[in-house]
């Protein structure tokens, strides 16, 4: 199981957090970007984000909680991320997935807690990652929503039955207790505050692994 660490909620500056993540055993740096429309929070400063991440040594896993990703994809592509994930709840899903693939970047679809997994079905053959939200998107440090486990189970069964190749990832409220609920059904977990609100990043990452 891979671990992606989100630096959204950290007790250090973003720069210090990134420098510690670069030296850690995390497999990916998870980048949460929000536009103030898809979610109330807004941290969509692309120049700052690119400045912060351009020398990052870990592969980037970008999670776009934004209503219209099309206008920002070309700038983000310059970071050569491993994945860019958009939300299945937005209106131009297909167009955005095609655009991400055009840059030879892995494309992902995130799904909110209240959205049924059927919404993902039209895209299953095409996508490289499913990001199952286990909290309402927008903030780090929230509590894991237990219903997520059923959704993960069903997606994991479907993946096996149809021999599909996307990664299943889960995002929100992952810690040393909730990991045991999800570990059998996921290829990757995203963890934020459990890692970045502590002193020893690798100790926390190893507890998850």
Q: How far is the first Cα of the chain from the last one, in angstroms, to the nearest whole number?
A: 7
Which is nearer to Zn ion, 63 or 159 (by Cβ)? 63
User: Is residue 141 close enough to count as binding ligand DX5 by CB under 6 A?
Assistant: yes
Which token pair is 115? 């959205």
Question: d(Cα 20, Cα 88) in Å, to the nearest integer?
Answer: 32
What residues form DSSP beta bridges with 64?
33
User: Is residue 194 close enough to count as binding ligand DX5 by CB under 6 A?
Assistant: yes
Q: Judged by CB under 6 A, which stretch of 3-11, 54-62, 86-94, 156-164 contacts ligand DX5?
A: 3-11
Question: Pairing state of beta strands 2-6 and 188-191?
Answer: parallel
Do residues 110 and 131 lie in contact, with contact meaning Cβ atoms separated by under 8 Å?
A: yes
Task: Calculate ∠ Cα 109-115-117, nearest 5°.
Answer: 65
Mark residues 82-121: x for contact with ligand DX5 by CB under 6 A, - for none.
----------------------------------------
Respond yes or no: is residue 128 known to be catalytic. Answer: no
User: Is residue 63 close enough to count as binding ligand DX5 by CB under 6 A?
Assistant: yes
Respond yes or no: is residue 187 known to be catalytic. Answer: no
Write out the residues near ligand DX5 by the rule CB under 6 A: 6, 8-9, 30, 32, 63, 135, 137-142, 171-174, 190-194
């Amino acid at each position: 199981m891979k671990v992606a660490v989100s630096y959204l909620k950290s007790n250090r500056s973003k720069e210090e957090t990134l420098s510690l993540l670069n030296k850690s055993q995390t497999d990916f740096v998870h980048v949460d970007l929000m536009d103030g429309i898809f979610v109330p929070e807004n941290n969509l400063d692309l120049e700052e984000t690119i400045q912060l991440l351009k020398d990052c040594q870990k592969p980037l896993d970008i999670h776009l909680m934004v209503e219209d990703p099309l206008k920002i994809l070309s700038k983000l592509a310059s970071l050569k991320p491993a994945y860019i994930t958009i939300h299945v709840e937005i209106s131009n899903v297909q167009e955005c997935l095609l655009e991400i693939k055009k840059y030879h970047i892995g494309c992902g679809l995130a799904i909110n807690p209240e959205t049924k997994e059927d919404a993902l079905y039209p895209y299953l053959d095409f996508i490289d990652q499913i990001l199952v939200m286990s909290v309402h998107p927008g903030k780090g440090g929230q509590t894991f929503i237990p219903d997520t486990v059923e959704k993960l189970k069903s997606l994991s069964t479907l993946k096996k039955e149809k021999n599909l190749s996307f990664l299943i990832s889960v995002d929100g409220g992952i810690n040393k207790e909730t990991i045991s609920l999800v570990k059998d059904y996921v290829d990757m977990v995203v963890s934020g505050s459990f890692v970045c609100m502590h002193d020893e990043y690798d100790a926390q990452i190893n507890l998850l692994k």
